[in-house]
């Protein structure tokens, strides 16, 4: 799996404010900002401030950070008025569509989920 060091990691730069983003919420541990290329009317990325390449690596290294990411994603869903109608998606590995190797959760909402259940 590709790994990036924090110095060349886009999301580390967004967390640090070195690259601008449309931030919608944050905690001491996590930051939520709108995806630059939204796949749904509401598309927010929630990332831990601390660099880990995948959600699995985050879970292994800090359960508190992992919990905070999902708690913040749920808070943003409430904030956006979609607490009862959203999806959280995690892509792990380039073969599954992961392009940024800093752990993140996609919060998607605001469109009909026409495909219905995925699993
Ligand atoms: P992945 O494919 O790794 O699961 O998700 C990475 C996401 O980051 C993609 O949905 C992509 O649109 C988003 N993204 C890539 N570059 C930027 C950026 O510079 N700013 C923001 N806000 N999102 C980005
Ligand atoms: Zn990073």
CB 77 within 8 A of CB 108: no
CA distances from 109 to 30, 35, 38, 70, 113 (A): 20, 12, 10, 15, 9
The residues near 95 (Cβ < 8 Å, ≥ 6 apart) are none
The stretches of the chain forming alpha helices (DSSP H) are: 10-16, 55-61, 63-79
32: containing domain: 6-109
In a domain, residue 115? The reply is no
Query: Which tens digits make up the pLDDT trace of 62-90?
Result: 999 999 999 999 999 999 999 999 999 99
Distance 112 CA to ligand 2 centre (A): 32
Q: What is the pTM of this model?
A: 0.95
pLDDT of residue 65: 98
Domain assignment present for residue 10? The answer is yes
Q: Can you give the pLDDT at residue 119?
A: 77
Pocket test for ligand 1, best of 18, 36, 87, 104 (most atoms within 8 A of CB): 36
Domain assignment present for residue 55? The answer is: yes
| Ligand closest to CA 93 | 1
In a domain, 64, yes or no: yes
Q: What is the CATH number of the domain that holds 16?
A: 3.30.428.10
Q: Given ligand 1 and candidates 12, 20, 35, which is best to mutate, with the most ligand atoms within 8 Å of its CB?
A: 35
How many domains are there within the chain? 1
What is the token pair recorded at 103? 């752990």
Which tokens hold the place of 110? 């605001």
Catalytic site residue from 51, 86, 102, 104: 104
């Amino acid at each position: 799996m590709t790994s990036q060091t924090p110095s060349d990691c886009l999301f580390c730069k967004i967390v640090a404010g070195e690259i601008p983003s449309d931030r919608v919420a944050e905690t001491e541990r996590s930051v939520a900002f709108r995806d630059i290329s939204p796949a749904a009317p509401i598309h927010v990325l929630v990332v831990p401030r601390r660099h880990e390449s995948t959600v699995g690596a985050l879970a292994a290294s800090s359960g508190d950070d992992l919990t905070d990411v999902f708690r913040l994603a749920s808070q943003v869903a409430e904030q956006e008025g979609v607490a009862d109608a959203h999806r959280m998606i995690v892509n792990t590995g380039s073969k599954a569509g992961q392009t940024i190797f800093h752990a993140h959760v996609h919060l998607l909402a605001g469109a009909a989920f026409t495909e219905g259940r995925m699993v």
